[in-house]
């Protein structure tokens, strides 16, 4: 069989590309690429090594093919996705499962044989007349216990270029694998193109084959559906972590500076559009990563790495005041891909930037003028709500020196945060690891945004901000978190954050930059340098500490009135949340650990006791320090 695959490759690949592939002595890889060539029928195949010339070829072809347009500033390009291909499409993203395999009601799945036949049917001949690109990457730092190798085959130079900004080169690490089958494979085709975008989005499919650890994506270009090593491979990494006793998470990784030059590292799980990248990019702190993290126990400590080495971030509301580091990276020469923004005279514009947006230009819907409406009669904004930017972390002034450290960084705290208008206070600490996993991680909810397709503003259950990507039974996933510290004597502290709490008037109670103060408070808590007040749901900051931190960090006064409105315990809303969360875990998850219900019951008792004593809304001053 291997001879047949070799013959397919020899016929389709030029001498140089064939030689580059054959230097990788991996029979599974040769079979996979030969199968993809036979299936997708590309005109030619380009195999990319880690050589800068190979990478430059991909970058230039992205412009030559029209997938990207050069902008006026050196290194800047723009890409447009189709009007109906602007976010992760959860409905068509499915696991392929063999008969008898049940991962739970929250898993979007289909029969493996049926799904493979369907997606491979759409992929058949999909690359006719185009070049297939074969790219190799490393997830996590290279030559590390955290490292996972991956190969992607795609006919999109935009996708391949994006991956070059987001992931560490992996050709040489693939050579070191030898004949090992332990890696992730992704096959993508944009499908039939009209005006440069995927035309058959009604036949868009993003399928993850858990049996062979392969990802299939077709008839889509949006990076969340096509850059296989983001959320698609996250699903496969979660299964690997489950087998091996570590955690693969949808988490940022940031270093927060403390007194005397100390840096304390935090991971943070925030659903898309909830301030995750802005937290990772806080000014004067250090960024390790903004989206994906692997966590392992090493020498009695929890250590973590950034799976990636770049950012694929939401650009809406990025402006020089709220996000100065990102703003600087996007407005100076350097390699940046803008997607689905407004372009006019070679310059990019987006909403919330503070720029004067021109009255006309070009965006994902074509020629745009203010007042233009879509087919449903709704006025089109100049840039899409989910417009994005893609950059490397390398070169950012706040990049942490441990980005590529094969041992990762020691985790001092873990944060769970969502878009919550009426329940959680801005920041609180759990009583212990179990309490944090249950009441903050496994109880996380977030109001939906347009980072995924669908109606925004709906409160969604989002345990660990990872529900969309969990590829094992949900109860087992939570049990893995509960058990993770094992015999570690001082596991990371667990916190909950909420940047989106609103007052009675419907206005946000916090400014965009207040998150910096919450992070500084958490850093001090990790080292036992500030006290707290114990409430029924967790430990909250004391007013005097926040007054000092607001002055030190933001240079502004923080009032007793602000503290009272932000940290008042809303017992009714918290009890309603417990009702929702308990119902989900009892009725929709068959393997929920019993300890989860015990911890929720204890929280309910504390809330009911406090409500009977103080009423529905309890000012923070009623809770004693300790």
**Cβ(536)–Cβ(606) below 8 Å:** yes
Residue 453 pLDDT exceeds 60: no
Domain boundaries, the chain: 2-67+85-229, 247-295+405-622, 312-392
Give pLDDT, residue 324: 87
Give pLDDT, residue 454: 56
Residue range 132-147: average pLDDT? 97
What confidence tier does 449 reach under pLDDT thresholds 50, 70, 90?
low
Distances, alpha carbon 141 to alpha carbons 149, 400, 405, in Å: 10, 14, 7
What confidence tier does 1 reach under pLDDT thresholds 50, 70, 90?
very low
How confident is the prediction for the chain on average, in pLDDT? Answer: 95
Residue (of 34, 290, 19) closest to 151 by Cα position? 34
Q: Matching CATH topology for 247-295+405-622 and 312-392?
A: no
Q: Which has more pLDDT, 323 or 248?
A: 248
Whole-angstrom distance, CA of residue 353 vs CA of residue 621 = 38
Give pLDDT, residue 275: 86
What confidence tier does 12 reach under pLDDT thresholds 50, 70, 90?
very high
Residue 450 pLDDT exceeds 60: no
Residue range 527-556: average pLDDT? 98
Stated pTM of the model: 0.95
What confidence tier does 145 reach under pLDDT thresholds 50, 70, 90?
very high
CA 151 to chain centre: 20
pLDDT (tens digit, 9 = 90+) per residue, 176-185?
999 999 999 9
Q: Which CATH class is domain 2-67+85-229?
A: alpha beta
pLDDT (tens digit, 9 = 90+) per residue, 257-295?
999 999 999 999 998 778 888 899 898 999 999 999 999
For domain 312-392, the question of CATH label 2.170.8.10 is answered with yes
**Cβ(281)–Cβ(287) below 8 Å:** yes
**Cβ(481)–Cβ(250) below 8 Å:** no
Kindly provide the b/e burial profile for residues 218-246, where b requires at least 16 CB atoms within 10 angstroms of the residue's own CB. Answer: bbbbbbbbbbbbbbbbbbbbbbbbbeeeb
What confidence tier does 535 reach under pLDDT thresholds 50, 70, 90?
very high
Distances, alpha carbon 166 to alpha carbons 267, 313, 549, 606, in Å: 19, 11, 34, 45
For domain 247-295+405-622, the question of CATH label 3.30.70.20 is answered with no
Distances, alpha carbon 597 to alpha carbons 3, 395, 463, 586, in Å: 57, 47, 15, 9
Whole-angstrom distance, CA of residue 424 vs CA of residue 426 = 6
HSE of 301 in the Cβ direction (CA atoms, 13 Å)? 11
The catalytic site residues sit at: 274
What confidence tier does 457 reach under pLDDT thresholds 50, 70, 90?
low
Distances, alpha carbon 451 to alpha carbons 325, 526, 559, in Å: 22, 32, 35
Q: How many residues comprise the chain?
A: 626
**Cβ(108)–Cβ(95) below 8 Å:** yes
Residue 473 pLDDT exceeds 90: yes
pLDDT (tens digit, 9 = 90+) per residue, 114-130?
999 999 999 999 999 99
pLDDT (tens digit, 9 = 90+) per residue, 339-368?
999 999 999 999 999 999 999 999 999 999
Instruction: Give the least confident one: 3-7, 97-101, 251-255, 541-545.
Output: 3-7
Give pLDDT, residue 3: 80
């Amino acid at each position: 069989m291997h001879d047949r695959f070799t013959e397919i490759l020899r016929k389709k690949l030029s001498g140089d590309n064939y030689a580059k592939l054959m230097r990788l002595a991996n029979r599974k890889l040769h079979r996979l690429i030969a199968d993809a060539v036979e299936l997708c029928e590309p005109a030619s195949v380009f195999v990319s090594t880690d050589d800068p010339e190979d990478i430059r070829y991909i970058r230039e072809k992205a412009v030559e093919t029209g997938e990207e347009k050069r902008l006026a500033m050196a290194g800047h390009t723009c890409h447009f996705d189709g009007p109906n291909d602007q976010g992760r499409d959860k409905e068509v993203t499915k696991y392929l499962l063999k008969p008898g395999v049940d991962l739970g009601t929250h898993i979007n799945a289909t029969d493996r044989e049926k799904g493979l036949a369907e997606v491979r049917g759409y992929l058949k001949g999909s690359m006719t007349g185009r070049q297939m690109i074969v790219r190799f990457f490393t997830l996590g730092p290279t030559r590390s216990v955290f490292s996972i190798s991956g190969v992607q085959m795609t006919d999109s130079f935009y996708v391949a270029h994006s991956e070059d900004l987001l992931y560490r080169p992996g050709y040489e690490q693939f050579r070191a694998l030898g004949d090992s089958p332990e890696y992730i494979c992704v096959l993508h085709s944009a499908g039939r193109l009209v005006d440069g975008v995927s035309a058959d989005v009604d036949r868009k499919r993003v399928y993850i084959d858990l049996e062979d650890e392969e990802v299939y994506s077709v008839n889509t270009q949006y990076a969340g559906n096509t850059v296989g090593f983001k959320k698609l491979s996250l699903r496969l990494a979660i299964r690997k972590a489950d087998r091996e006793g570590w955690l693969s998470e949808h988490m940022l990784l940031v270093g927060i500076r403390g007194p005397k030059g100390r840096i304390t590292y935090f991971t943070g799980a925030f659903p898309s559009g909830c301030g995750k990248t802005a937290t990772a990019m806080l000014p004067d702190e250090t960024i390790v990563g903004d989206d994906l993290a692997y966590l392992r126990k090493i020498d009695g400590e929890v250590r973590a790495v950034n799976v990636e080495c770049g950012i694929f971030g939401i650009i809406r509301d990025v402006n020089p005041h709220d996000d100065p580091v990102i703003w600087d990276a996007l407005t100076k020469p350097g390699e940046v891909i803008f997607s689905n923004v407004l372009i006019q005279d070679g310059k990019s514009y987006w909403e919330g930037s503070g720029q004067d947006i021109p009255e006309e230009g070009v965006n994902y819907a074509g020629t745009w003028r203010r007042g233009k409406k879509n087919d449903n009669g709704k006025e089109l904004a100049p840039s899409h709500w989910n417009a994005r930017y893609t950059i490397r972390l390398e070169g950012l002034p706040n990049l942490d020196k441990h980005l590529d450290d094969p041992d990762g960084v020691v985790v001092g705290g873990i944060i769970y945060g969502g878009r919550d208008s009426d329940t959680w206070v801005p920041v609180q600490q759990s009583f212990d690891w179990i309490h944090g996993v249950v009441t903050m991680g496994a109880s996380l909810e977030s109001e939906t945004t347009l980072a995924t397709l669908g109606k925004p503003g709906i409160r969604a259950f989002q345990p660990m901000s990872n529900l969309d990507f969990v590829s094992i039974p949900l109860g087992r996933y939570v049990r893995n978190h509960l058990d993770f510290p094992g015999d570690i004597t001082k596991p990371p502290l667990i916190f909950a954050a909420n940047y989106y709490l609103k007052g009675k008037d419907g206005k946000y109670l916090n400014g965009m930059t207040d998150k910096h103060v919450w992070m500084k408070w958490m850093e001090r808590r990790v080292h036992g340098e500030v006290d707290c007040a114990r409430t029924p749901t967790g430990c909250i900051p004391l007013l005097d500490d926040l007054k000092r931190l607001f002055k030190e960090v933001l240079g502004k006064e923080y009032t007793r009135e602000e503290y009272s409105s932000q940290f008042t315990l809303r017992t009714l809303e918290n009890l309603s949340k417990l009702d929702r969360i308990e119902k989900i875990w009892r009725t929709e998850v068959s393997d929920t650990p019993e300890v989860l219900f015990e911890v929720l019951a204890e929280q309910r008792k504390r809330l009911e006791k406090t409500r009977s004593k103080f009423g529905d809304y309890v000012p923070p001053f009623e809770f004693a320090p300790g």
